[in-house]
Amino acid sequence: MALDLTPEQKAIGRKNFEQAAGDLERLATEKKLAGAPDRRTFMKSALAGAAVVPVSAAVYFGYESWEGNKPVRTALIGCGDEGGVLIGDHNPAFNEIVAVCDIRPSNMKRIFDGDTGPRKGLKKVYGEATANKIAKYDNLSALLADKSKLGLEAVVVATPLNTHDVITKACMDAGLHVLCEKLMARNITKCKGMIKYAKDKKLLLSIGHQRHYSMLYAHALEVVNTDILGDIKHIRALWHRNNSFLFSATDAEKAKFAPQFDIPYYRDGWCKPILKEDADALPPEKLRELAFGNVKEYGFEDAKELVRWRLYDKTGGGLMAELGSHQLDASSLILGHVHPLAVSGVGGKFFYGPGRNDRESDDGVFVTFEFPGKKHPKAGKGGTDESDIVVVTYSSFNTNSFEKYGECVMGSRGTMVIEEEKDVFLFKEPEPGKKDSGGRDTNVTVTSADGKKPAMEASSTWGGGGGAAISKAPGAPAWDSAVRGYRTEMEHFAYCVRKWDGKIGWEKKDGKFVQEVPRCHGEVAMADAILALTANMAMKKRQRIEFEHGWFDADSPDAPETKYGSEGRA
């Protein structure tokens, strides 16, 4: 993400962030900070001498009172890539997986046996004997018919994007709470339909944007919210991959591929080979039977379209939905959930083509969002300066992975780089005419004179102890549950299920929900979908699109697709 930072500069930036987090906590605790937060705000830490002691995610996000509760009996619907991540990172003390459902035989094997990286598999999480007792279903109707026998309370939906809304509603018809993977739905009208359905059924709906539960992002946001970065005018976000290397397979592997479908030309996680066992089990006529009564919207033409669903406009949302939504979600969090003003961009199929992992979705995107700054009238803070704009750029290309993915937050007094969901680097801007007053090789502390706003100060040596070691140490495993947020997301969902009173449902008082709800409930997640899908429309139409208030109102029929057509094609 930070192109030319040396290992030494990264070590300085990492330590600067931890030092700033610790300094801000101490200032708040000692009430030396103007408008100091109380002890129930984000930085729920305890002092131990000069150091800040890290606390569990459960304490941090307010669900520490789980002891004595039974695990929520949960089914996983969709056992592919994302389902495997969720299974590998869930906590059985909160969510007990009692059933899994997938129409692809290969996915059913994979969810039990596991895979490389975070996809550990049910056998490793539960032990083989217990995992073998988990019920298996190859269609949703059969699973829901056994709801009572299984004692089901909730489901996790990790299926192709175009099926999110129909599966969510079917599960809610069965009285089940739903945690659905992102993107929320294929268009905003369907997002609004899911929100209304959850309210009408008085059931929980959570959407899997895991950064809302990342300890790393939570601490980064707390530092940003103290304004020590100064006036933020630009956030640069990206997620690039290099899929330009030729695909290769052994003869034994090729023997498992369905001969009627092409073999990928390039190595590409979105364009996988079609396994014979999946193609044999799912001929077109079988897929039509499984299309929830609407082949046009929820069906798949063949096993190829099912397996490679991210490549098609009908079934997926492309790079903006699958990757960009993460970065836009993070940028939205950093800017305080303000709604964007406009988006423009360039995207296209610049690399793939006939015989070369061909697809309908773009393989390269570059978009520019305009967000209201704090003094802008639409920031909701009484401002009047319409020129106060924050520019957020996002890019994703499939032919170069030189930069690591993440977000670079640029302020007038400092820069914060959040890299790969595992590191945060903080640097102070140098002051004119002052030597060693900032820059990449400068240590910083945070001070507050006479109760004024906190500010970074350059320091030849660090102050009295930093904060909790939130960012990852060099050489540490890349995957960490507390940092990534998946585990916490599912734990809090279970906590909300246990606390939920169906008689009260989604009622609000003074604009706030009466009950505890997931941090990324439907109304929050819909905003992320609006950003991603409207960006697709802007790129297709090659025009700047201004966002409208009604799009973000769950009770309004207004949606970007009603004005610009599906993906801007109408």
> pLDDT for 375-402, tens place per residue?
999 998 889 999 999 999 999 999 999 9
pLDDT band, very low/low/confident/very high, at 367 (cuts 50, 70, 90): very high
User: Last residue of some domain: 307, 330, 346?
Assistant: 307
Instruction: Tell whether 245 and 336 lie within a shared domain.
Output: yes
CB-based contact 170:133 (threshold 8 Å)? no
Higher pLDDT, 38 or 189: 189
Instruction: Tell whether 202 and 192 lie within a shared domain.
Output: yes
Give one DSSP letter per residue of 135-200, joined into a string. EEESSHHHHHHTHHHHT--EEEE-S-GGGHHHHHHHHHHTT-EEEEESS--SSHHHHHHHHHHHHH
Q: Is the pLDDT of residue 570 over 60?
A: no
Q: 346 lies in a domain?
A: yes
Instruction: Tell whether 99 and 169 lie within a shared domain.
Output: yes
Encoded amino acid at 472, one letter: K
Instruction: Tell whether 246 and 298 lie within a shared domain.
Output: no
Would you state the structure tokens that stand for residue 184, as one six-digit string?
């929320």
Q: How far, CA to CA in Å, does 199 sit from each of 194, 196, 392?
A: 9, 5, 33
Residue 558: Cβ-neighbour burial (10 angstroms; 0-12, 13-18, 19+):
middle
pLDDT band, very low/low/confident/very high, at 568 (cuts 50, 70, 90): very low
Instruction: Tell whether 170 and 235 lie within a shared domain.
Output: no
Q: 14 lies in a domain?
A: no
CATH code where residue 544 lies: 3.30.360.10
Q: Is the pLDDT of residue 448 over 70?
A: yes
How many CB atoms sit inside 10 A of residue 520's CB?
26
**Range from 177-191, 197-211, 467-481, 515-529 carrying the lowest mean pLDDT:** 467-481
Instruction: Tell whether 76 and 201 lie within a shared domain.
Output: yes
Q: 28 lies in a domain?
A: no
Instruction: Tell whether 189 and 262 lie within a shared domain.
Output: no
Distance separating alpha carbons of residues 370 and 299, to the nearest angstrom: 36
Taking the C-alpha atoms of 244, 476, 410 and 446 in order, what is their torsion angle to the nearest 10 degrees?
Answer: -170
DSSP β-bridge partners for residue 101: 77, 137
Distance separating alpha carbons of residues 365 and 347, to the nearest angstrom: 4
Would you state the structure tokens that stand for residue 176, as one six-digit string?
């089940």
Instruction: Tell whether 273 and 327 lie within a shared domain.
Output: no
Instruction: Tell whether 312 and 389 lie within a shared domain.
Output: yes
Instruction: Tell whether 395 and 256 lie within a shared domain.
Output: no
Q: 320 lies in a domain?
A: yes
Q: 489 lies in a domain?
A: yes
Would you state the structure tokens that stand for residue 192, as one six-digit string?
């609004």
Distance separating alpha carbons of residues 217 and 330, to the nearest angstrom: 8
**Mean pLDDT, the chain, whole residue set:** 91
Q: 564 lies in a domain?
A: no
Number of domains in the chain: 3
What strands lie across the sheet with 545-546, from one edge to the other? 423-428, 414-419, 406-411, 232-238, 389-397, 364-372, 342-348, 545-546
Q: What is the mean pLDDT of residues 49-78?
A: 81
Q: pLDDT tens-digit profile of 82-96?
A: 999 999 999 999 999
Distance separating alpha carbons of residues 76 and 143, to the nearest angstrom: 10
pLDDT band, very low/low/confident/very high, at 561 (cuts 50, 70, 90): very high
Q: What is the mean pLDDT of residues 238-254?
A: 97
Q: 174 lies in a domain?
A: yes
Q: Which domain holds residue 386?
A: 231-251+308-411+523-556
Instruction: Tell whether 256 and 244 lie within a shared domain.
Output: no
Whether the ω angle into residue 183 lies within 30 degrees of 0, i.e. cis, is: yes
Q: Using a pLDDT cut of 90, give the percent of the chain over it.
A: 79
pLDDT band, very low/low/confident/very high, at 4 (cuts 50, 70, 90): confident
What pLDDT score does 40 carry? 38
Q: Is the pLDDT of residue 431 over 90?
A: yes
Using DSSP, state whether 251 is helix, strand or coil: helix
Distance separating alpha carbons of residues 173 and 167, to the nearest angstrom: 10
CATH code where residue 169 lies: 3.40.50.720
**Range from 45-54, 95-104, 293-302, 545-554 carrying the lowest mean pLDDT:** 45-54
- What residue ranges in 400-542 does DSSP mark as E strands? 406-411, 414-419, 423-428, 443-447, 455-459, 508-509, 512-513
How many CB atoms sit inside 10 A of residue 421's CB?
21
What pLDDT score does 25 carry? 81
Instruction: Tell whether 270 and 348 lie within a shared domain.
Output: no
Encoded amino acid at 446, one letter: V
**Range from 123-132, 440-449, 500-509, 514-523 carrying the lowest mean pLDDT:** 440-449
pLDDT band, very low/low/confident/very high, at 229 (cuts 50, 70, 90): very high
Q: 175 lies in a domain?
A: yes
